[in-house]
């Protein structure tokens, strides 16, 4: 069975948590596409060469969840040649037999516009910054400024800007528990699967 769940949204909205839970519930494979960009940014050197030469093992390196790796990812993600090199990798993953969940910034709009389910997971900048601060520590006001800066860069880029697909189900997790957000996402996927008959 080919069945793709595309989950988009800004940093620290809950995409990864929801994506992993949905994948586990349905036995689908999961890809945090942000890790691709984080791995390219972490490699240093020529980002295009790093993207072209990316192998699955690169996604296992330490430090890819750090704030610095996230900032590096956002910077290399604006390079069209980097994005092009990683698109094919993501599309193959998404449409392989057995079902897949991909979370990122442009899955439902660019990578998999044909996805059977599209979710746009969001939350206020303040809530997302607080979550990120709990994860990485530091000065909370600096984390908020970095979240806002990253949003502006991701939403303002020319190539594949962050936005909800026209047919995405928007899930605002600002006031939701993790359990409630996961339950809502699972319900959307179940409904789509039933609709396919």
Query: What domains appear along the chain, each with residue ranges and CATH number?
Result: 4-195 (3.40.50.300)
Distance CA(98)–CA(54), nearest Å, equals: 23
Q: What residues pair up with 14 in beta bridges, in sequence order?
A: none
| Residue 137 annotated in ligand binding | no
| Residue 17 annotated in ligand binding | yes
Contacts of 150 by beta carbon, 8 Å cutoff, 6+ apart: 10, 11, 70, 71, 74
| Residue 24 annotated in ligand binding | no
Distance CA(22)–CA(2), nearest Å, equals: 15
CB 15 within 8 A of CB 8: yes
Question: What is the per-residue pLDDT for 90?
Answer: 92
| Residue 161 annotated in ligand binding | no
CA distances to 44, 58, 113, 139, 197 from 8, rounded to whole Å, are 26, 22, 12, 27, 26
Half-sphere exposure of 119 (CA within 13 A, CB side): 30
Distance CA(102)–CA(136), nearest Å, equals: 24
Per-residue pLDDT reduced to its tens digit, 86-109: 998 899 889 989 999 999 999 999
Per-residue pLDDT reduced to its tens digit, 31-74: 988 899 999 999 989 999 999 998 878 888 899 988 889 889 98
| Residue 39 annotated in ligand binding | no
CB 69 within 8 A of CB 41: yes
Percent of residues, the chain, with pLDDT higher than 90: 71
| Residue 16 annotated in ligand binding | yes
Q: Which of 137, 138, 92 is nearest to 112 (CA)?
A: 92
Distance CA(162)–CA(98), nearest Å, equals: 27
For residues 172-185, give the mean pLDDT: 96
**Three-state secondary-structure class, residue 3:** coil
Q: Would you state the structure tokens that stand for residue 106, as one six-digit string?
A: 């442009």
| Residue 14 annotated in ligand binding | yes
């Amino acid at each position: 069975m080919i069945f793709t769940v595309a989950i988009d949204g800004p940093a620290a909205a809950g995409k990864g948590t929801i994506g992993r839970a949905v994948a586990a519930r349905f036995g689908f494979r999961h890809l945090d596409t942000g890790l691709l960009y984080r791995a390219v940014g972490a490699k240093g050197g020529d980002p295009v060469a790093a993207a072209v030469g990316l192998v699955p093992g690169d996604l296992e390196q330490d430090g890819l969840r750090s704030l610095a790796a996230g900032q590096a990812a956002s910077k290399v993600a604006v390079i069209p040649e980097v994005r092009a090199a990683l698109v094919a990798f993501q599309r193959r993953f998404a449409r392989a037999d057995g079902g897949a969940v991909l979370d990122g910034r442009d899955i439902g709009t660019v990578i998999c516009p044909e996805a059977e389910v599209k979710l746009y997971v969001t939350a206020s900048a303040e809530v997302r910054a607080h979550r990120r601060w709990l994860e990485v520590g530091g000065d909370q006001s600096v984390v908020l400024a970095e979240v806002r800066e990253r949003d502006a860069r991701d939403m303002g880029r020319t190539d594949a800007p962050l936005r909800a697909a026209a047919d995405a189900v928007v899930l605002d997790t600002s006031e939701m528990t993790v359990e409630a957000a996961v339950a809502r996402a699972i319900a959307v996927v179940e409904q789509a699967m039933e609709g396919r008959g």
